Structure 1
Amino acid sequence: MLEFAPSNTSDRKTLFIEVILPLAIAKNYTYRVPFEMNDAVAIGKRVVVQFGKSKLYTAIVAAIGTQAPEKYEAKYILEVLDEQPIVTPYQLQLWQWIAEYYMCNVGEVMNAALPAALKLASETKIVLNKDFLIDRATLHDKEFLIAEALDLQPELTVSDIAKLLGQKTVMPILKGMFEKNIINISEEVSDRYKPRKRTFITLNPVYHNQDNLRELFSILERAPKQADALLTYMKLARHQKAVSKNDIAEESGAGPAVIKALIEKEIFFAEEKSVSRLHYEQENDTGIFDLSELQQNALNDIQRQFEDKDTVLLYGVTSSGKTQIYVRLIEEMINSGRQVLYLLPEIALTTHIIERLRAYFGSNIGVYHSKFNDNERAEVWQKVLNGDYRVILGARSSVFLPFDDLGLIIVDEEHETSYKQFDPAPRYNARDVAIYLSAMYKGKVLLGSATPSFESYFNARVHKYGLTELVQRYGGVELPDIEVVSIAEETKQKTIQSHFTGVLMKDMRQAIENKEQVILFQNRRGYAPLLMCRTCAHTPKCINCDVSLTYHKSSGKLHCHYCGYKEDSPSICPACGSTHLEYKGFGTEKIEDDLSLLLPDARLARMDMDTTRSRNALQNILNNLEEKKIDILVGTQMVAKGLDFADVTVIGIINADSLLKFPDYRANERSYQLLSQVSGRAGRRGKRGKVVIQTYDTGHRVLRQVIENNYHDLYFTEMEERRSFKYPPYYRIINLDIKHKDPDALYNQSIYLANELRKQFGDRVIGPEAPLVSRIRNYYIKTIMLKFEKDGISINKAKAVIRDVIMQFQTTKLSKGGIVQPDVDPY
């Protein structure tokens, strides 16, 4: 490691800098600084370097010194990109901790942490920003040339642009074009997140004068539809703070041309605003509310516990008003001049919280997640760096932002698996990173959930965390009535229709008759999970992965949900030539299809990965649900997260067995969480909801615990098993996934690694075993599991030994073609 030295030296001293490259390499590289750049380099700034024979990368300066590397000759850096550091010392410390804790390289952490606009490389693809109107007359010659080239060829790499301009370093020019919003990274554009927009109408202030208004109505006598629209606006404006174009159109029956004419005459002024996708109560618009007695007691308890605990768990049943407690804590933190990070598992499904917080805190709040395009993410990064935002609302990646003085981190729905990054490295859990991040700033962490993870609840019970409980719904609303219905019994009595029991059909019909809404949950997308030949039992499988293909009726193809492979659905069995092919099982697409026949008058929609891929698809579904254009919404796990609608009174869980029978030590915990969260979507606004759980195993313990809302019984029962079988939170788990395209080579590699690890750790090593899906994207997989007790062994020393074993393995001929991926705390 280089010695740290001040960067503002102006003499002819030869400086060397250690840089972090956005690559999976074991060590940082050292580069030499040209004399004329001595004053420009500083820790946390970006520099352009050549790595390998010809590739250019944007790297981050991690250390500065005067010592040349001993093993190789240092190349010169080519450019310093920043006037001020864009990465803080706290961030560098966090990156290093993540790399060590999660057993990856710091370059992989950098790659995950920085928005793409801040880490340009030779092969980065550049496109024009189509949402930005460019005045080309204002561009410099080189910028103009790049823009013209992108007109002719929509996508260029940084290397292409370097050739076009005839110079090696083009990063500063591209940086300037990013800052002017002229260009984007192509990978980010296709998946861009769009806020919901709505046009709001206001009356020209001239017509607030009664005489002018009377005169206006006399003029509009010749245009009765316009007069009706104006009257409708005035009526609506008396009862609501904001009147939208849609409100006027629906109430008066006026077409778009009528309202457009009033706007053109400057009688109406129109303004497009971003609005919430989801329902929330009108009084929240003002940012003024009173906590209930229970909420106030919980808030006081949290504040008291923060005096001697850095982390507190808020365990509150669904719809108990946790968000309002968060708001009070955020207000407190802002008043003390510190920053707040509010983490959410699914940004796209919880946009109402963004609007709610913006109502309270206005421009003080920023939003950050991967669905924003690259320019937007880079802009938020810069604003956090400058201290422009006091509150950041974001998904897991927002833990990487350059905070200045972070006083509080709220982790909402802390039990959610979405906080865990599975691929690629770093395979971090944002909840756990948040706790380390907060400790660096001497801040506090509040974990919130209606169904806490066992690890967090365990930590609260052993007094590592504080614990506050909210056991009643806000406003005294009752928890939903839950009924478990036997699929086997109804099949026997012939009262089941397709996949819907008589009980669920009756409740759905009643809800639709009452102009209420229904959500149906099925934890599998597609039409049918299996296509099988009745003659020979052949099942089509993916050519790249060890999974059966799922039939999707919308495309008429068989899909692999792991690698994206598709093929036409056969009409003849490719194995025996039989025409007797049938579909087995059912997914959300089949549920929707069957419902359209059983309830032909019901307005249906489906919310899963297939229906929400396009840019505004999710927004449109949620808008339609809010505006009561949907009677029944069919969905996967997406429907369990963040939906908050006044008129959803019936929840149907089509087949609970697929959750309860999953071969995983967390199956019961996850089943309880998911069933409770889905159930919690019902009856959130004064009406008691109804939940129908369809299952073959009506006596399953977890179902009883869900009905009784008995989290504690679940916790104590499961913890006994975990203690007996050496699972978290009593033990730590590290998985090693070994991958290879040749199954025989994989077998030899995994056996070798397991034996080497057993020499060090004995029976703490389990495997190698094939996971549930043992081949993905043509790579065969074996997993070695290591279990470490929490007392009596240093986990850091154990990780160091594992690293040494992997490194020693990678120096052998046996390792050729193999990939070893450590995953710390894998579940």
Structure 2
Amino acid sequence: MDRITLFAEVLLPLPLAGTFTYRVPYALNNLIRPGQRVTVQFGKRRVYAGLVTELHEKPPAKGIPKYILSVLDEKPLVNTIQMRFWQWIAAYYMSTAGEVMHVALPSVFRLSSESAVVLWPGFEPDSHTLNESEYRITEALLQKKKLTIAEVSKIVGYQKVLPLLKTMIERRLITMEEELKQQYKPKKTKMVRLSAACFEEGALQEIMDQLGKRAHKQLELLMGFLSLSGFPLKKGFTVPKTELLQKTGASDAVLKALVDKGVFELEEKVTSRFTDESTDVTGAFTLSESQQQAYNLLKTQMQKHLVVLLHGVTSSGKTELYIKLMEDALAAGKQVLYLLPEIALTTQIINRLRKHFGDEIGVYHSRYNRNERAEVWENVAGIQHRDVHKPYRIILGPRSAMFLPFENLGLVIVDEEHDRSYKQFDPAPRYHARDAAIYLARLHGAKVVLGSATPSVETYFNAQNGKYGLVELNERFGGVAMPRIVVVNMKEEKRRRMLKSHFSSVLLSHIKEALEKKQQVILFQNRRGFSTRIECEQCNWVPQCKYCDVTMTYHKKQQLLKCHYCGYSRPVP
């Protein structure tokens, strides 16, 4: 049987147009699939983790393709719909698919090689005359074998070490290697379980009788395990080692003794990085009359339109309608994406939704560390073992959540659709999450609900012209009256010299009236600066004031970071 020569189109997380053709080693023919990450050499030295977008048998017209070095994933990390979605974003927002890949994938999945310093083969310490810096580096390499550039800088005591390294390479003291490190590893927890011998008839009673004579601490640990497992005993029941020791007060030595006696067995199990945040599920609730009418109209409009605008006044109960729609989607076996403009809003609403959907809700945002985001990604992709966490059927998060690898998306909710936080400004791709989410829903055959009390002009225009469906909810929940708004002519107040500092006489009189009634007052002030923070996509570093230890505000026009407490400013890094 003839061997088939396969070629792979590989997408790299770089701002370069198109994909690059690599040859698949015969040994990998049956292992490689589109959507998997592979390691490839790009250029003379660098190694990257790229994404296979296509497999074919057509060799490139020019040049000899390099071989793929290895396959990193057992199962595809990215599905076909995602790759089509990335291509659309790249074309529509005038960027490259590599830039979209860089934004979409969690940082632990975007691997690139790091230069490592090693001794020149056959290096002999006594055969060279070395200056102090060269001596320090070679001595360190004799002990550690490899050093990173950062480690070299620390050893010699200054940052700009490349000229020194270049000289040492020319003198054949050292050479450079490229090293690719896999950053993500599933969390593993040591688990304790009863050995199979303990389940034989009478065996457990005999063990307890023996321990009761001269090993009371070991007996207490065994009884603690049995208390956690419950009765009747179940084969395969495991308890985390740390939890067992903490609840019984036993030491590692006591546990080891029982393991040596064949009572307990230890095993490593892949577990979730997220603590159990399950709450009591409250179940069904009753909609108000106006909410029920809006829900019925929503269902009708969703049959006619891909996108429906839910225009509801503040506190009208839009979230209750979202919950009903999510229940419908889950009942149909679909996944739900619930987008919010800010991470702060995500944390506010998650507890509310967990009361209805329990642990079927997953959260994805930048305040999770990179391993936690990778864990959510694998869960949604369906490549995480079900023992780690049950599949998330609802994903809640800001704009980055829309890049998750949904397999069966049925409903997309974009809450506060007018918010400018849905727009990515820098770096590329400069996409708008609301509009991109609509295209993502079209790819999946899903429906989109845009919610807002103050819709954007373009969304309201589309709803008025029939492109989108429109449902209005004009009553606040519980029949609460809308707040009264008073407009004050500040120019007139200033002309009549009735202003006190920045406050009008009307505002001051109402503040005084509220305080006399022992009531509270909230004064809102416009936000200063373009953004309250900037954050590194790689390590989540946020610049802080060196004097106040508070987050610095980004002023885009001046390209400065400013502290609004002490006035300290610095250029944007």
TM-score by length of 1: 0.46
Is this contact kept in 2: 1:79–1:169, CA < 8 A? no
Q: Which has the higher contact order (CA 8 A, sep 6+)?
A: 2
Distance 1:154 1:42 in 2: 41
Matched, 1:351 2:354: no
Pick closer, same or farther for the CA change 1:440–1:68 going to 2, 3 Å.
same
Distance 1:510 1:154 in 2: 65
**What corresponds to 1:82 in structure 2?**
73
Is this contact kept in 1: 2:77–2:381, CA < 8 A? yes
**What corresponds to 1:388 in structure 2?**
391
**What corresponds to 1:323 in structure 2?**
319
Matched, 1:475 2:478: yes
- In the TM superposition, residue 402 of structure 1 has moved relative to its aligned partner by 0.5
Matched, 1:561 2:555: yes
- In the TM superposition, residue 170 of structure 1 has moved relative to its aligned partner by 3.9
Secondary structure of 2:451's counterpart equals strand
Q: Which runs of 5+ in 1 are unaligned?
A: 1-9, 126-144, 156-163, 183-262, 266-271, 277-281, 527-550, 568-586, 594-609, 611-775, 779-827
Is this contact kept in 2: 1:511–1:518, CA < 8 A? no
1:286 to 279, 282, 288: 282
- In the TM superposition, residue 122 of structure 1 has moved relative to its aligned partner by 2.1
Matched, 1:179 2:179: no
Pick closer, same or farther for the CA change 1:168–1:36 going to 2, 3 Å.
farther
Distance 2:493 2:12 in 1: 61
Pick closer, same or farther for the CA change 1:321–1:150 going to 2, 3 Å.
farther
**What corresponds to 2:437 in structure 1?**
434
Matches within 5 A, 1:141-160: none
- In the TM superposition, residue 493 of structure 1 has moved relative to its aligned partner by 3.2
1:521 to 518, 522, 525: 525
**What corresponds to 2:449 in structure 1?**
446
Matched, 1:105 2:96: yes
Q: Which amino acid aligns with 2:450?
A: L
Secondary structure of 2:454's counterpart equals coil
Q: Which amino acid aligns with 1:28?
A: T
Is this contact kept in 2: 1:16–1:65, CA < 8 A? yes
Matches within 5 A, 1:666-685: none
Instruction: String of CA shifts for 1:215-257, please: whole Å, max 9, x gaps.
Output: xxxxxxxxxxxxxxxxxxxxxxxxxxxxxxxxxxxxxxxxxxx
Matches within 5 A, 1:498-647: 498-512=501-515, 514-524=518-528, 561-562=555-556, 565=560
Secondary structure of 1:48's counterpart equals strand
1:91 to 64, 82, 85: 82
Q: Which amino acid aligns with 2:520?
A: E
**What corresponds to 1:41 in structure 2?**
32
Matched, 1:338 2:334: yes
Is this contact kept in 2: 1:78–1:169, CA < 8 A? no
Pick closer, same or farther for the CA change 1:17–1:525 going to 2, 3 Å.
closer
Pick closer, same or farther for the CA change 1:363–1:372 going to 2, 3 Å.
same
Matched, 1:305 2:301: yes
Matched, 1:115 2:118: no
Distance 2:248 2:503 in 1: 53
Secondary structure of 2:300's counterpart equals helix
Distance 1:524 1:435 in 2: 32
- In the TM superposition, residue 515 of structure 1 has moved relative to its aligned partner by 4.0
**What corresponds to 1:732 in structure 2?**
none
Pick closer, same or farther for the CA change 1:566–1:457 going to 2, 3 Å.
closer
Distance 2:381 2:554 in 1: 42
Distance 2:475 2:54 in 1: 53
Distance 2:106 2:275 in 1: 26
- In the TM superposition, residue 449 of structure 1 has moved relative to its aligned partner by 0.6
Instruction: String of CA shifts for 1:755-799, please: whole Å, max 9, x gaps.
Output: xxxxxxxxxxxxxxxxxxxxx979xxxxxxxxxxxxxxxxxxxxx
Distance 1:381 1:153 in 2: 36
1:462 to 461, 465, 469: 465
Is this contact kept in 2: 1:99–1:426, CA < 8 A? yes
Instruction: String of CA shifts for 1:638-659, please: whole Å, max 9, x gaps.
Output: xxxxxxxxxxxxxxxxxxxxxx
Q: How many residues were matched structurally?
A: 419
- In the TM superposition, residue 492 of structure 1 has moved relative to its aligned partner by 3.1
**What corresponds to 2:412 in structure 1?**
409
Is this contact kept in 2: 1:285–1:356, CA < 8 A? no
Is this contact kept in 1: 2:379–2:392, CA < 8 A? yes
**What corresponds to 1:211 in structure 2?**
none
**What corresponds to 2:491 in structure 1?**
488
Is this contact kept in 1: 2:315–2:476, CA < 8 A? yes
Pick closer, same or farther for the CA change 1:589–1:511 going to 2, 3 Å.
farther
Q: Which amino acid aligns with 1:354?
A: I
Is this contact kept in 2: 1:522–1:588, CA < 8 A? no
Matched, 1:57 2:48: yes
Distance 1:299 1:452 in 2: 19
Instruction: String of CA shifts for 1:122-142, please: whole Å, max 9, x gaps.
Output: 2599xxxxxxxxxxxxxxxxx
Is this contact kept in 2: 1:366–1:391, CA < 8 A? yes
- Which 10-residue stretch deviates more, 407-416 or 501-510? 501-510
Matched, 1:19 2:15: no
- In the TM superposition, residue 491 of structure 1 has moved relative to its aligned partner by 2.5
Pick closer, same or farther for the CA change 1:324–1:555 going to 2, 3 Å.
closer
Q: Which runs of 5+ in 2 are unaligned?
A: 117-143, 155-173, 190-246, 250-273, 383-389, 531-544
- In the TM superposition, residue 32 of structure 1 has moved relative to its aligned partner by 1.2
Distance 1:357 1:97 in 2: 32
**What corresponds to 1:397 in structure 2?**
400
Pick closer, same or farther for the CA change 1:11–1:503 going to 2, 3 Å.
farther
Pick closer, same or farther for the CA change 1:479–1:423 going to 2, 3 Å.
same
1:374 to 357, 370, 378: 370
Distance 2:351 2:151 in 1: 40
Q: Which amino acid aligns with 1:86?
A: L
Is this contact kept in 1: 2:314–2:476, CA < 8 A? yes
- In the TM superposition, residue 312 of structure 1 has moved relative to its aligned partner by 0.8
Secondary structure of 1:485's counterpart equals coil
- In the TM superposition, residue 112 of structure 1 has moved relative to its aligned partner by 0.9
Distance 1:102 1:359 in 2: 39
Matches within 5 A, 1:727-738: none
Instruction: String of CA shifts for 1:710-748, please: whole Å, max 9, x gaps.
Output: xxxxxxxxxxxxxxxxxxxxxxxxxxxxxxxxxxxxxxx
Instruction: String of CA shifts for 1:642-695, please: whole Å, max 9, x gaps.
Output: xxxxxxxxxxxxxxxxxxxxxxxxxxxxxxxxxxxxxxxxxxxxxxxxxxxxxx
- In the TM superposition, residue 152 of structure 1 has moved relative to its aligned partner by 8.6
Pick closer, same or farther for the CA change 1:414–1:17 going to 2, 3 Å.
same
Secondary structure of 1:307's counterpart equals helix
Instruction: String of CA shifts for 1:267-323, please: whole Å, max 9, x gaps.
Output: xxxxx98999xxxxx9x9835431110000000000011122111111111111000
Pick closer, same or farther for the CA change 1:426–1:589 going to 2, 3 Å.
same
Pick closer, same or farther for the CA change 1:274–1:519 going to 2, 3 Å.
farther
Is this contact kept in 2: 1:49–1:59, CA < 8 A? yes
**What corresponds to 1:70 in structure 2?**
61
Q: Which amino acid aligns with 1:311?
A: V
Distance 1:311 1:449 in 2: 14
Distance 1:71 1:441 in 2: 37
Q: Which amino acid aligns with 2:503?
A: F
TM-score by length of 2: 0.65
Secondary structure of 2:49's counterpart equals strand
Pick closer, same or farther for the CA change 1:152–1:21 going to 2, 3 Å.
closer
Is this contact kept in 2: 1:553–1:589, CA < 8 A? no
- In the TM superposition, residue 149 of structure 1 has moved relative to its aligned partner by 9.8
Instruction: String of CA shifts for 1:466-519, please: whole Å, max 9, x gaps.
Output: 110001111111111111122223233333222122322333344455342414
